[in-house]
Amino acid sequence: MLKYITRRLLMTIPTFLIVALVVFTLMRLVPGDPAAVMVGDLDDPTILAQVRRELGLEEPLPQQFAIWLGSVLRGELGQSLMTGEDVLDAMLRRFKVTAQIVMVSVVLAVLVAIPVGLLAAWRQNRTADVITMFLVILAVSVPSFWVGILLILVFGVELGWLPTIGYVSIGENLAEGARYLILPVTALLLGEMASLARMMRSSTIEVLRLEYITHARAKGLSEGVVLWRHALPNAFAPVLTVLGLMLGSLLGGAVVIETVFTLPGLGRFLVDGSYARDYPVVQGTLLLVAAIYVLTNLIVDLLYPLFDPRVRL
């Protein structure tokens, strides 16, 4: 067990390094002087010279990368060219918004997809299953940002029931915050929930074919007990891995959804940064999102043995 944990932890080091290298390379591919890229259209030669020294631009590239990596690890991500804010501070503030949407989406997706997938597998190829699978493939095919636009059209423009722009922190005002979350979360969640349900279904079908399930039924256990107590634990383990990957697409989806609903989140920050060619912001958000993603998948892998009774390391 300890060996597995150590191995898995060590594996994240090259991952982080390569992620950092990709972002570093991207930033150096920006045409022009890297120092000028980081301070913007500033005509002050002394600042420019200072940044150039800090970035170690006279050194060979591997050294430049080491210097850059060092400052990233110290959390020195520079100032936003748009607002002059410290990038790290701004990101952490905006991350709260994104985290709220993504967390609520993950929880809701799991709560709905697990029972739906389980039931569809149980009624395999019957009417309920066929209808569910049709809805799933429909939900997977509809882009989240279009769902968002349709929701705004119906609930915002036509009916005027729900706010379509902006955001209120759940921490400050639970009811109002929830009202602002309904539409973005629905748009973000639909496709992910559907693919999770599909995954749960096929994983359950494989488990239901195993002999211990036949044995449980032969013992006279009710179908509910067979499904919930016997099939679910084994069927859930592969779904857990998908859950980690799902976070990636939710974070990616959040970029677009935050734009649709004008939410001040991390994704919107990245998009705004891209428009404005605000490279410190682009660099910081890319690094942060990738780090979150790598860390979550690390946690998922570490939790895996707890959920899969067959994996005992």
Partner 1 sequence: MSLRSQVAWMMRRPNGVVGISLLGLIIILAVIGWLATPYDPLMLSYEDRLAPPSASHWLGTDQFGRDMFSRLVAAAGTSLVVSLLTVTLALVGGTLIGSVSGYLGGWVDRIAMTVNDALMAFPGILLALGIMAVIGPRRYGVVVALGLAYMPNVVRIVRGVVLSVREKEYVEASRALGNSEWYTVLAHVVPGCISALTVIGTAIFGGALLSESALSFLGLGVPPPAPTWGGLLADSTLYMDRAPWLSIFPGLAISVTLLGVNLFGDALRDRFDPRMSRL
**What are the residues binding partner 1 (CB under 8 A)?**
14-15, 17-19, 22-23, 26-27, 29-30, 124, 137-138, 140-143, 145-146, 149-150, 152-153, 157, 201-202, 205-206, 248-249, 251-252, 255-256, 259-260, 270-271, 273-275, 277, 279, 282, 286, 289-290, 293-294, 297
Instruction: Find all residues with CB under 8 Å of 13, minimum gap 6, and list them.
Output: none
Record the tokens describing residue 36, joined without a space.
């000028």
Q: Are the CB atoms for 5 and 302 separated by under 8 Å?
A: yes
Q: How far is the CB of 156 from partner 1 (least distance, A)?
A: 8
Q: Calculate Rg over the CA atoms of the chain.
A: 24
3-state class (DSSP) for residue 46: helix
Q: At what angle do helices 127-141 and 87-122 cross, to 10 degrees?
A: 160
Distance between CA atoms of residues 303 and 1, nearest Å: 12
Instruction: Round to whole Å and give the CA distance between 87 and 168.
Output: 22
Residue closer to partner 1 (CB basis): 134 or 173: 134
| Structure-token pair, residue 131 | 């209808």
Kindly state the smallest distance separating residue 92's Cβ from partner 1, in Å: 18
Q: How far is the CB of 40 from partner 1 (least distance, A)?
A: 15
Least CB distance to partner 1 at residue 46 (A): 27
Of 71 and 202, the one with the shorter C-beta distance to partner 1 is 202
Q: Give 23 or 101: the residue with its C-beta nearer to partner 1.
A: 23
Whichever of 172 and 275 has its CB closer to partner 1, that residue is: 275
Closer residue to partner 1, CB minimum distance, 170 or 274: 274
